[in-house]
Structure 1
Amino acid sequence: MKDLRAEYSAGREGVQLFGLLSLYLEQEQRFQPREKGLSLIEATPEDDNTLCPRLRNAKVEDLRSLTNFFGSCTETFVLAVNILDRFLALMKVKPKHLSCIGVCCFLLAARIIEEECNVPSTHDVIRISQCKCTASDIKRMEKIISEKLHYELEATTALNFLHLYHTIVLCHTSERKEILSLDKLEAQLKACHCRLTFSKAKPSVLALCLLNLEVETLKSIELLEILLLVKKHSKVNDTEFIYWRELVSKCLAEYSSPECCKPDLKKLVWIVSRRTAQNLHNSYYSVPELPTIPEGGCFDESESEDSGEDTSCEESLSSSPSSDQDCTFFFSFKVAQALCFPS
């Protein structure tokens, strides 16, 4: 009787999961960037005053670094990339505005996904990203992005499909649950998002390709059969699937570093110039001593006053076009002589 109940429960859960999959499939087209706009960016040659694929990809790398620095989840990063690409596919953006747009996309995504206590302040993001804008600039740009996207910021992304596909597979398999690592799949998805071309793929197809490639490495016939059922339910065209699967395979081969093959557990290394380090707030690379709490329970307001330092920045992230300025810097995961922050 217990086995029958377990089988019935699993079957009922499977029906609910496939029902959610149908809902995602109905929504994905609405939140996908305009292909025409993405194609225009792809066809744009590198120039000082035009947005090219290299600048877009570099900005996504910056978003990934900001996500790691502030300890935000993968959902925040993926949604930020979705908002960024949808906006870039709609508007003609100059490279000088890209840093401000990137910060806005990160903040908008963080406010949707993260707990309120985990959302970084605008001033903190400005200071860490070193973008050449003020809090007022961020506020105005956030309004522009929201209006252009008709305030539909919360989107159905490839990560939603990846999580759902993963759950469906585990729900129907008799194999060990731990053999299919969701952390590894998420890291691979982040690597794909760092390339503009994958923004043209349907989120459902991109997620299915990642899962299919991982299952093939496991050489599990049962898991492959389950994926075939998922592929059939998703109505994925064979030609489309093979095309994107090949591109994903090439991308993952190039991103075969440890950061892409397993969860991001390393500390984030931030390489900066001396000039940049001098302009940073001390609290970002040192831990201040906490004031002693009086036994009488009194609160000393003088100890909690804001330092009131200027939040203006002189440098920008490495996504900006390269220059001879000695103040430029970039995020890196390699060990180097630099300031080290927890991820």
Structure 2
Amino acid sequence: MIDTVPAPEGMPLTVQLKALLDQEIRYQPKLCGLKIIESAQENGLRMTVRLRDYEVKDLLSLTRFFGFSAETFSLAVNLLDRFLSVMKIQPKHLACVGLCCFYIAVKSSEEEKNVPLASDLIRISQNRFTVSDMMRMEKIIMEKLHWKVRAPTALHFLRLYHSLILLQADADSKKSLNIDRLEAQLKACHCCFAFSKIKPSLLALAILALEVQEQGLCELIEAQQTLQLQSNIKAGDLVCVRELVGKCLIEYASTKCSKPSHRKLRWVISGRTARSLKHSYYKITHLPTIPEAAS
């Protein structure tokens, strides 16, 4: 049976936050497994940080191509990192693993009518494995993750923190703290392996704290510190991750226009999805732009 995260949307925001904090530890990648990936050499025989990041960028391209939600992408990354941290896979199997994690996330987060066929996903991503291969890999992934799918991701925390801090914000501050911009920053961070080792709550609050700092929203510092206390996040950890996020976003901004995704994805498919995908080809070969901050 698939394990799902309770949906406490009808509860007060602080209660929702506590519920997510209580669950996040159960859905984190194994640190020991991530360290093995981090120490691997580029010899074509083992999973490496570079290969993982390439695969996540492909999943981001697929997410944009199909018009899927940020929730689908964040969940796919969570599933991928959790699986890679408990299973040693060969690089040649990574594309199948990544696509299966994406497919699981799509089926968990998107409306059923928008879920593409597995065969379409394979054709679009130009992979050579079969639908049977994909179904076998999906079963392995689900079993290794103990059918725990709907993880509390950094996106859940980011949206919740954003809602909570806006309760203390004036009209100008609300305009400056744009959730679309924050979510785009999170997507960029997901493409960097270093953040796989960081708790979702810490990553989300670091992104928010960086934006508060860069926008000069001094009136929200106290509200941010309250969120930090409620989340049991140490000040030193927050500062460290905030700086790491800042470096990541600078690197991302400098490469997004010059480095398209390393694998072109086709839009030659048939059936009900063809019409909706026909006009999306250009987007799939480019990483998303982070919206400008409000002036």
TM-score (norm 2): 0.84
Checking the alignment, whether the CA contact within 8 Å between 1:122 and 1:135 is kept in structure 2 is yes
Summarize deviations over 1:28-52 as a string: whole Å, max 9, x none.
Answer: 1111100110011001011111111
- From 67, 79, 84, give the equivalent of 1:88: 84
Summarize deviations over 1:105-130 as a string: whole Å, max 9, x none.
Answer: 11100011001111111111011011
Structure 2 counterparts to residues 255-274 of structure 1, below 5 A: 255-256=252-253
2:115 is aligned to 119
- Distance change (3 Å), C-alpha of 1:259 and 1:16: farther
1:338 is aligned to none
- Distance change (3 Å), C-alpha of 1:159 and 1:271: closer
Q: Aligned partners of 2:127 and 2:148: how far apart in 1?
A: 25
Q: Percent same amino acid among aligned pairs? A: 47
2:4 is aligned to none
- What is the CA distance between 1:175 and its match in structure 2? 3.1
Checking the alignment, whether the CA contact within 8 Å between 1:100 and 1:138 is kept in structure 2 is yes
Quick check: 1:223 aligned with 2:220? yes
- From 9, 24, 27, give the equivalent of 1:28: 24
2:203 is aligned to 206
SS at match of 1:256: helix
Between Structure 1 and Structure 2, the one with more helix by share is 2
Number of aligned residues: 268
1:77 is aligned to 73
1:171 is aligned to 167
Quick check: 1:138 aligned with 2:171? no
Checking the alignment, whether the CA contact within 8 Å between 2:116 and 2:273 is kept in structure 1 is no
Q: Aligned partners of 1:18 and 1:285: how far apart in 2?
A: 40
1:158 is aligned to 154
Quick check: 1:237 aligned with 2:234? yes
1:185 is aligned to 182
Q: Aligned partners of 1:197 and 1:137: how far apart in 2?
A: 30
- What is the CA distance between 1:201 and its match in structure 2? 0.5
1:333 is aligned to 286
- Distance change (3 Å), C-alpha of 1:134 and 1:223: same
Checking the alignment, whether the CA contact within 8 Å between 2:54 and 2:262 is kept in structure 1 is no
1:63 is aligned to 59
SS at match of 1:37: helix
- What is the CA distance between 1:244 and its match in structure 2? 1.2
1:43 is aligned to 39
Q: Aligned partners of 2:197 and 2:140: how far apart in 1?
A: 23
Q: Which runs of 5+ in 1 are unaligned?
A: 1-12, 261-267, 289-330, 335-343
- What is the CA distance between 1:174 and its match in structure 2? 2.6
Summarize deviations over 1:49-93 as a string: whole Å, max 9, x none.
Answer: 111110000000000011011111110000000000000000001
- Distance change (3 Å), C-alpha of 1:77 and 1:36: same
- What is the CA distance between 1:179 and its match in structure 2? 1.9
Between 232-241 and 15-24, the greater mean CA deviation after superposition:
15-24
Quick check: 1:129 aligned with 2:125? yes
SS at match of 1:28: helix
Amino acid of the structure 2 residue aligned with 1:333 = H
- Of the two, which has the highest radius of gyration? 1
RMSD of aligned C-alpha atoms? 2.8
Amino acid of the structure 2 residue aligned with 1:189 = L
Q: Aligned partners of 1:235 and 1:286: how far apart in 2?
A: 47
Amino acid of the structure 2 residue aligned with 1:106 = F
Q: Which runs of 5+ in 2 are unaligned?
A: 1-8, 277-283, 288-295
Q: Aligned partners of 2:51 and 2:261: how far apart in 1?
A: 22
- Distance change (3 Å), C-alpha of 1:211 and 1:286: closer
SS at match of 1:55: helix
- Distance change (3 Å), C-alpha of 1:19 and 1:247: same
- Distance change (3 Å), C-alpha of 1:228 and 1:269: closer
Checking the alignment, whether the CA contact within 8 Å between 2:72 and 2:110 is kept in structure 1 is yes
Amino acid of the structure 2 residue aligned with 1:64 = L
1:312 is aligned to none
Checking the alignment, whether the CA contact within 8 Å between 2:61 and 2:286 is kept in structure 1 is no
1:305 is aligned to none
Q: Aligned partners of 1:166 and 1:284: how far apart in 2?
A: 37
Q: Aligned partners of 2:140 and 2:273: how far apart in 1?
A: 34
TM-score (norm 1): 0.73
Amino acid of the structure 1 residue aligned with 2:49 = P
1:311 is aligned to none
